[in-house]
Amino acid sequence: MAAFAATRRKMGLPPVIVVNKSRTLGGIFAELTKFDMNSSNWSSVASTASPGPTRIRPMSPTDDLNYIPNSQFQARDATMSEYPDSFSMARAVRATLNEYAEPYSGSEVLYDLAGVVYTPGGVALGRARRIIFAGGLVPKTVPQGKAIMSGYDFLRRPVRELADKKIAVVGDGATAAQVVELMVGESYMKPVTLPDNIHWFGGENMPFDKSSWMDLYHARFSGLGRHFPQSGIGGGVIRPFRTRGEVYPAGDIAIVNQEVFDLVVYCPGFTPAPYPVPMAGVVQLGGMTVARSSGSSAPLNSRVFVIGAAAGFEIPYQPYVTKFAASNNALYVNLPRIAAFAGALPR
């Protein structure tokens, strides 16, 4: 919504009303413990096509992986770190919405296909000219148990006493890597006591030692390589397993692949937020899919739209295709599409 609101204002249109369920503006970046983002500062979008940590110099300030289109507020201006932290991005999003929109935080509304907006109690507030749903991503469900946490919950409230715990992390994505990063003390929130070892069930493509980790995984997490076993020698705090972790709650413990653990952090990833009304069509501009719409015959004249990660488009951003599947939900993939959509909408 930050990109949408800023683009509409830059086109001379009135500010949009943004209703944010959370009390704090800034999306998921404001909800989680401070962590480094995956996209490096002052890197061109062309950098994502590179197989390694190569940073390609941007052609302009707009050619930046974390750029919020048409906003004067950018994460890169708040930090000089190689990777901007989530709080810097949250501040940029919050400042953008406060400047270019009319935001209401800690609020919630419902709506129907006709554009009628309701309170959660069912009181009609009126009919909107159009409704834009930008719910982003939500965590997938995890097995429920005292010894089991989702990766999302761990990143919000990390367990900081890790000594004398048998620990398993299950997952092969950036969430699992961020959890392990917190556990070994390589993030902003340091553990009070360090783990003796972490069993990491990362699936069949899990890197098995320092060298393969550096070759196969995202450069953002290269520092974790020092905690992997040496090739052919063993050792290391991280014990990687090339298998999926089957997790079962069992009272005060949890079972993963028939082994007992005191703490299991299950990281199945995120899924597009469910939109409240059915979407019949999509909006395409010059071959680029930019939004879902409630109408199929004339999509841009529809009443309700879904944008961003909530739209669930699996089509990669065509100019540059990266080897990391999760990048389909990255800012540099979604925000140019949102800006194009905002510019094409009728007044």
* Model pLDDT for residues 199-218, shown as the tens digit of each residue: 999 999 898 888 888 877 77
Helical ranges in 187-294 per DSSP H: 210-216
pLDDT band at 14 (very low <50, low <70, confident <90, very high): very high
pLDDT score recorded for residue 212: 87
b/e map 302-341, b = 16+ CB within 10 Å = bbbbbbbbbbbbeeebeebebeeeebbbbbbbbbbbbbbb
Task: Output the domain CATH number for residue 121.
Answer: 3.50.50
- Mean residue pLDDT across the chain: 90
Range of the domain at 26: 2-138+271-344
Residues 53 and 158 in one domain: no
In a domain, 203, yes or no: yes
317, pLDDT greater than 70 = no
Task: Verify that 128 and 14 share a domain, yes or no.
Answer: yes
The answer to whether residues 46 and 126 belong to one domain is yes
Whole-angstrom distance, CA of residue 187 vs CA of residue 295: 45
Predicted TM-score of the model (pTM): 0.90
Q: What is the pLDDT of residues 265-288, one digit of tens each?
A: 999 989 999 998 999 999 999 888
Residue 329 pLDDT? 79
Select the more confidently predicted residue: 94 or 51: 94
The answer on 168 and 130 residing in a single domain is no
Q: 207 and 289: one domain?
A: no
pLDDT for 220 equals 82
Counting the structural domains of the chain, the total is 2
Mean pLDDT across the stretch 171-186? 93
Residue 29 lies in a domain: yes
Query: Is the residue at 256 inside a domain?
Result: no
Residues 17 and 75 in one domain: yes
Write down the pLDDT at residue 326. Answer: 58
Based on the fold, state whether residues 94 and 121 are members of the same structural domain: yes
- Looking at the structure, tell me whether residues 176 and 231 fall in a common domain: yes
Mean per-residue pLDDT for 142-156?
Answer: 95
Tell me what pLDDT residue 321 has: 56
Nearest-angstrom CA–CA distance, 283 and 288: 8
Q: Is the pLDDT of residue 45 over 90?
A: no
Distance CA(53)–CA(56), nearest Å, equals 10
Distance CA 237, CA 224 (A): 10
Q: What is the pLDDT of residues 76-88, one digit of tens each?
A: 998 888 889 999 9
pLDDT in tens, 90-103: 999 999 999 999 99
Note the pLDDT of residue 99. Answer: 97
